[in-house]
Amino acid sequence: MDLSLYRLHCCWKLKQLLQGYEHILKQRLHQSTDLVSFILELKTVLEVSIKNHPVSDSIPPPQYYSQLILEMETLGWDKLLFIDTQFQMLKMKAEDSSGRQHILTINLKNKHPAEAPECSADLPVPFLLKWTPQSSLNQLHSQFLLVIEALTEFWDVLDEIDAKTWILEPEKPSRSDTVRRIAIGNNVSIKVEVDPRHPKMLPECCLLGAEHVVTPLRNKLNANMHLWNADSGVLQNLQDVLEIEFPSPATHEKSMFSVDCGICYAYRLEAAIPDQVCNDPRCGQPFHQVCLYEWLRVLPASRQSFNTVFGECPYCSKPITVKMAALQS
């Protein structure tokens, strides 16, 4: 076979590795008797280039791949969800005792396992990796399992809240979200933040809505706080302390709580929902805070004191305020 008329086409990475060796490759190509012998010559040139080329730091050595395959065989290929074409970014799955699936994204370094990989997951707490040059993917997966198992009770609490109440925010909760805004009634809600480390304890609570509705609920929360029982569920405790029963998907439609903003006539404005409510019981119209701020800001009769804008409700003309700090947070 005459290879003198053949040309070598390769990707940019390989071309970068072979830079400076073009004349040698051309000579070897013309001298090779067949394709197999030329491939062997190319392999020799690449080995020299990888050893001496400054770009070699960006390419893992051959033992990297054999080590990775060995570790995956020990861990089990069924736990691998994805691996990129460079064999450096992996996604592994794990299941907690409640049957929830979790994904750990791993970015391996070229000197693996001498260097610790970078890891990320949808968790409410940091994933603090313990790694030594003797560590493996199997040990990494075991550490991840311990972390998600420690958070199982936290996710159990939020899953119950998500299943049995109407969640206004976030619209699509992730496993890292610790806050839920739960509908209580028309334009009345409570924002709770559950501690991932102590999920059964009394969460941080913030009641939202018109003052004439929120004030009695706030008084009950303060008066009944001592009744909180860590042995009961968080949802049941919240209902006992507030002396209410949350509307649930089984008994109520979400449209009962999704009242559009009285200014822009939309419910969601990007991620925000109408949570600024007129305090007059006969009105109770909700607004997006940013809409109300822009409305009041241009009115001649409105005034500003520190971070609060004072004006009149666009619907009933009763006094209404909006805090600028809430818009900046």
Tell me if residue 264 falls in helix, strand or coil. Answer: coil
Query: What's the pLDDT at 54?
Result: 54
197 Cβ partners below 8 Å, 6+ apart? 125
What is d(CA 18, CA 99) in angstroms, rounded to the nearest whole number? 50
The answer to whether the CB of 269 falls within 8 A of the CB of 310 is no
Q: Give phi and psi for 308, each to the nearest 5.
A: -120, 135
Q: Taking the model in full, what pTM does it have?
A: 0.71
Positive or negative: CA dihedral 74, 75, 79, 81? negative
The bridge status of strand 188-193 relative to strand 204-208 is antiparallel
Domains of the chain in start order, with CATH, are 12-58 (no CATH), 62-150 (3.10.110.10), 166-255 (3.10.110.20), 259-328 (3.30.40.10)
Angle CA(239)–CA(240)–CA(246) in degrees, nearest 5?
15
Total length of the chain: 329
What is d(CA 204, CA 201) in angstroms, rounded to the nearest whole number? 9
Query: What's the pLDDT at 55?
Result: 47
Positive or negative: CA dihedral 62, 85, 71, 135? positive
What is d(CA 22, CA 33) in angstroms, rounded to the nearest whole number? 19
Give the residue ranges of the chain where pLDDT is below 50: 55-56, 329
